[in-house]
Structure 1
Amino acid sequence: MADILEVARQQVLEEGTGLDRDQLIQVLQLQDDDVPALLELAHAVRMKWCGPDVEVEGIVSLKTGGCPEDCHFCSQSGLFDSPVRSVWLDIPELVQAAKETAATGASEFCIVAAVRGPNERLMTQVREGIDAINEAVDINIALSLGMLTQEQVDQFAEWGVHRYNHNLEAAKSYFPQVVTTHSYEERWETCQMVREAGMELCCGGLVGMGETLEQRAELAAELASLDPHEVPLNFLNPRPGTPFGDQEVMSSADALRAIGAFRLAMPRTILRYAGGRELTLGDLGTREGLLGGINAVIVGNYLTTLGRNADEDIALLAELEMPIKELSKTL
């Protein structure tokens, strides 16, 4: 077994202190033969510091496509020749989606919009959506609406938003190769405001976008320093018409190494399977990740790509004897 795993067993599993960037690079450089031991250790860390519960979430897009930003991985950008075009979801459809999400056993429902940040129209629609969902179903509400002002952060906190998602997307050193229309610092500032307002912060990123292993470790370390409540881990699903559309899909072994590394960087954080896992890992890899540090799942479809059938994920959790976290109503 590689020396770094012995170090991690003492530092992370026994003491609860995450690995730093240089240590994470060693984890990401582990040989394929060491991956099962890495996942076994990551699972033990998750069980000790997070417990056995798995959090299930559904997401729905309030506004899909037509985004003014140029995130190179995203087919929702209005700047690329992508098949996704701007669509708005009406409130009854939003409520129905929330009901369907709750019916899967999910405790969280996330409303997403492809925007730089919310304008007055979107803020109004979100407020109406939150009120309608709260009347119809008992589920925590999360939002992902881009970069925020302090006033908007304060409004969301006042409206009882449980969690706000705003991903760093990539390590600071690689960010200019991923996005040019806004800065890493702008994203970081929104994340800090959300935390200071008392909402839970959901902040993750994508791997497999052409970054080096060192930059992958850098992203995990930066997320750890931000200390979000939840980290959604996405794997690049190259979308036609985007600048990253011709990238190769990362290997399953690299994806599993990333899962293990992110868990060892953040032993107490909810680490959520997000976009691209179906393509990168498949059914077997999805199972391995759930036994390798993952303790949350987005069920159903994503924003512009298809996910695994929600029933399949729920059945897999039952087979692995992983209890779904019961709703703790905080709205």
Structure 2
Amino acid sequence: MRVGPRSAQAVPGPACYGQGGTEPAMTDAAAWLGMLGPGDLASGIHLNIEKARAALESVGTHIGQDVEATAAGVMRISSAAMANAMREISLDQGLDPRTITLLPFGGAGPLMGTLLADELEMNHVIIPPLAGNFSAWGLLGADMVQSTARTRVIGFAPGALTEVARILEELFATLTERSTAHAGDGVRSVRLDLRYKGQEHTLSIEVELAEGRIAETEEAILERFVAEYARTFGSTMNEDVELVSVRASTTVLLPRRELSYTPKRSDGEDDRVMEVYSFESTARLPFRIIPRGRISGEIRGPAIITEDTTTTYVDVQWTISSGKAGEIILERTH
């Protein structure tokens, strides 16, 4: 069975949207397993579980599996593919995911949080405030950055920084000319893409500046490159190092914004319980359905946490608590 990369998109969407889609999508699998709780989504969408079942059954008959096993397989394949992408930016860069906290966001990120943590043996997950709109919220407060680069392949030996300085003067002039955000008044930064001679891939090393000019020697930059190479790849090479690209950026800092987030409370509504599939137990278990605004103290999973723009699936062996900024903190119990 293959999952993706083609999307059902919003229209016609997954079969469970009831907008004409008939092919099973990942959302159909999550809906059938109960991972989306009662299925009340934003914009008044209510998921049609029977249409999700019919779509999944069309695949299950071809692979000799019932609907439950087919839906669980869809979610497992999806989480494995996502985890592989995460390995590329962690393990392949010399970082151990087990020492990192996962921060899933977007409409589907919190749904997949504990599944991805299981794949990567991570023990901490944080669901940020406004998780479903987190990218948009961050974009509104992002600093104004202008960047440019130039390829210049030369040996990184004494004297190389003279050529780098000449290139940087031209790059920063370009940034000032093209920027509508007064890039010339922003904070300057420089990175050099370096590699051992004969290699294809580079490491980008930040360079210290003083009054907009490079304030360190080739030797100091080389030492940092060698240390970063050893950290990333576990060894170094007895080869000369060469410069590949010079990167210049100017950043205009925007005022820091404070997040004031209080999820909607539903004090008049008691927590509900649903039979939901547990990947840890490979069976359906009673899951509490908890509106995000009702989280207080420490709650033990399993649970489904609902809010307007996303749904958080919390399997067994996880605890739930709320942080000072309104974030949800999930921690694995052992």
Query: Which TM-score band applies after superposition, normalised by the shorter structure?
Result: under 0.3
Normalising to structure 1: TM-score of the pair? 0.21
Normalising to structure 2: TM-score of the pair? 0.21
- Greater Rg over alpha carbons, structure: 2
**1 or 2, which has the higher strand percentage?**
2
**1 or 2, which has the higher helix percentage?**
1
